C-alpha cells in the first residue's frame, strides 16, 4: 500500500502541508543579470546574485553567487555558494562552497569549506573560529 494513494484521500490531505496567507514563506532577494549595484547590501533574506555587485555584502542568511555573477566585494553570510566570479574576501558562519564554475580571488574563512574539482581559487583559507572569542 502506498503512503499517498488515491484510495485514501483523507490520509493524503493530512500528510500534505497547508499553505495559506498565515504560513511564513521564505524570503528571496534577486539581483538580475542586467543589474549593476555599487554599495552595501545588508539583510536577513536569502540573496541570489546573477548581476554585478561591488562593495560589501553582509547577510545573516544564505548567499548564492550565480554562474553569470560578477562580485567585487567583501562578503559575509551564514552560507555562501559561489558559482560565478568573486574578487574579495569571503567569510561564512557555517560554510563556503566553490562549485566547478567558481572563480574566486581572495581569502576564504569559514568552519567548513568545499572546493569542487575545477573551481579556480587564489587566496588563503582559514577554517578556524569565525568570531574572535569574547573575554
Question: How does the average pLDDT of the chain come out, rounded?
Answer: 85
pTM: 0.77
For 3-51, how does the pLDDT look when each residue is reduced to its tens digit (9 = 90+)?
444 455 454 444 444 445 555 556 889 999 999 999 999 999 999 999 9
**Domain boundaries of the chain, sorted by first residue:** 28-122
For residues 43 and 63, give the distance between their C-alpha atoms in angstroms, rounded to a whole number. Answer: 11
For 40-90, how does the pLDDT look when each residue is reduced to its tens digit (9 = 90+)?
999 999 999 999 999 999 999 999 999 999 999 999 999 999 999 999 999
Helix (H) or strand (E) holding 113: strand 112-115
Amino acid at each position: 500500500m502506498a503512503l499517498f494513494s488515491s484510495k485514501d484521500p483523507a490520509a493524503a490531505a493530512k500528510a500534505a502541508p497547508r499553505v495559506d496567507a498565515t504560513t511564513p514563506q521564505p524570503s528571496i532577494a534577486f539581483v538580475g543579470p542586467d543589474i549593476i549595484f555599487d554599495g552595501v547590501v545588508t539583510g536577513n533574506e536569502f540573496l541570489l546574485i546573477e548581476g554585478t555587485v561591488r562593495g560589501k555584502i553582509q547577510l545573516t542568511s544564505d548567499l548564492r553567487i550565480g554562474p553569470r555573477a560578477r562580485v567585487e566585494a567583501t562578503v559575509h553570510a551564514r552560507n555562501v555558494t559561489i558559482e560565478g566570479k568573486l574578487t574579495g574576501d569571503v567569510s561564512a558562519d557555517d560554510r563556503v562552497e566553490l562549485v566547478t564554475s567558481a572563480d574566486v580571488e581572495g581569502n576564504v574563512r569559514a568552519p567548513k569549506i568545499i572546493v569542487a574539482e575545477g573551481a579556480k581559487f587564489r587566496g588563503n583559507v582559514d577554517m578556524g573560529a569565525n568570531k574572535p572569542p569574547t573575554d
